[in-house]
Structure 1
Amino acid sequence: MSTKRVGLYPGTFDPITNGHIDIIKRGLRLVDRLVIGVATNPSKNPLFTLEERVAMVEEATRPMAEAAGVEFEVVQFDELLMHFAERVGATIIIRGLRAVADFEYEFQMTGMNYQINPSIETVFLMADPKYQTIASRLVKEVARYGGKISAFVPGDVAKAVVARVAELPSPSES
């Protein structure tokens, strides 16, 4: 049995935010290998394709992993989270919490996941207070209405979001 701690941080990352990056940076201290799982999740009507999201996550986070000396991989997935966790050899699932509403949802998910595979632990990291209000959904909405998002996402991600929302019909047209 391997003693390597393999963490999995799953999400849609549409787009990756500074809050996600904070959780990843802190998660890197907990594991020997970190897999960031980028989920398809078409029900969320993503702004970016799966491939674009994987590339953004990779670009925004690889330097941190290299600096931390942690094995690192960004992988797309479209399957049950626990099956994906088993496939990548995860021993820990890392989840970020911003508010009580996050806890209620994550509490249910953790209970279900434990029933599927009790050998994989879920670890919750509380969001840094300065990131607690940031949500990908809100970043997209602020950008769509012309607001500045540079405080919420990395610089290259902000440029990509602004460019993509510029391609969409204006909110008054939709």
Structure 2
Amino acid sequence: MTTAFYPGSFDPMTNGHLDVLVQALNVASNVVVGVGIHPGKAPMFTFDERADLIRQCLFDALPTRKADVSVVSFDSLAVDAARQFGANLLVRGLRDGSDFDYEMQLAGMNRQLAQDVQTVFIPAGTASRPITATLVRQIAAMGGDVSAFVPAPVLKALTSRQNA
């Protein structure tokens, strides 16, 4: 049984994140989604909210795989968190060439830090390549329509935030 660790901020979960997560389940038996917690950052959603949204999005997309995914928080190096949660694969999504360049550097550093954790790159689908959580937050904050960029549970949460 292979366990993959998929780290990120997921603030908020986007269609791109979901695409990579679904593909990761084709590579690994289990996926641990690691929500990075950084004390210096003020996220839009709390860890608990992000974890709930990730679960809802995955369960809507792949209800039969719900037992194969767990959501955890971490505040350490991704490779250390991967080891902590029993993962031997580290999943990284790629949108374009600039992601590839950065992720190759990161993969090289991670390999030096943890030779037992293999980085696996998963390309985002064509429709999700331009999507970033940062742009989704900015568009939503300005009242723009982000429905094409996020799963339904996230859209509902964002709409609730705007109307509060």
Q: TM-score, normalised by structure 1?
A: 0.87
Out of 95, 102, 105, the position equivalent to 2:102 is 105
Q: Quick one: which amino acid aligns to residue 127 of structure 1?
A: A
The residue number in structure 1 matching 2:112 is 115
Q: Indicate conservation of the 8 Å contact 2:9/2:37, yes or no.
A: yes
The residue type paired with residue 154 of structure 2 is: V
The equivalent residue for 2:150 is 153
Offset at 1:139?
0.6
2:20 maps to what in 1? 23
CA contact (8 A) 2:90 2:119 kept: yes
Structure 1 residue aligned with 2:52, among 48, 52, 55? Answer: 55
Q: Any idea what the Cα deviations from partners look like across 1:121-152, whole Å, max 9, x if unmatched? A: 10101111110000001011111111111111
- Paired position in structure 2 for 1:170: none
The answer for the alignment partner of 2:126 in structure 1 is 129
Once the two structures are TM-superposed, the CA of residue 70 in structure 1 deviates from its matched residue by 6.0
Count of paired positions: 164
Give the % identical residues. 38
Q: What is the deviation of 1:45?
A: 3.2
Shift, 1:90, TM fit: 0.6
Gaps of 5+ in 1: 168-174
**Hey, what's the Cα distance between the residues in 2 that align with 1:159 and 1:68?**
23
Residue 91 in structure 1 maps to residue 88 in structure 2: yes
**Residue matched to 2:79:** 82
The C-alpha deviation readout for 1:76-128, integer Å capped at 9, x for no partner, is 11111111111111111111001122112211111111011111110101111
Tell me the SS of whatever aligns to 1:28: helix
By how many angstroms is 1:65 displaced?
Answer: 5.1
Aligned AA for 2:24? G
Q: CA deviation at 1:66?
A: 4.4
- CA deviation map 1:43-65 (0-9, x unaligned): 55311111111111111113545
What is the one-letter code of the residue matched to 1:164?
R
Alignment CA distance shift 1:54-1:70 (3 Å)? closer
Give the conservation status (yes or no) of the 8 Å contact 1:65–1:71. Answer: no
Instruction: Give the one of 38, 42, 47 matched to 1:45.
Output: 42
2:29 corresponds, among 21, 27, 32, to 32
Structure possessing the higher relative contact order (Cα contacts under 8 Å, 6 or more residues apart) = 2
How large is the RMSD of aligned CA atoms in angstroms? 1.7
Letter in 2 for 1:62: F
List runs of 5+ in structure 2 lacking aligned partners. Answer: none
Give yes or no for contact 1:11–1:37 (8 Å, CA) kept in 2. yes
| SS of residue matched to 2:26 | coil
TM-score normalised by length of structure 2: 0.92
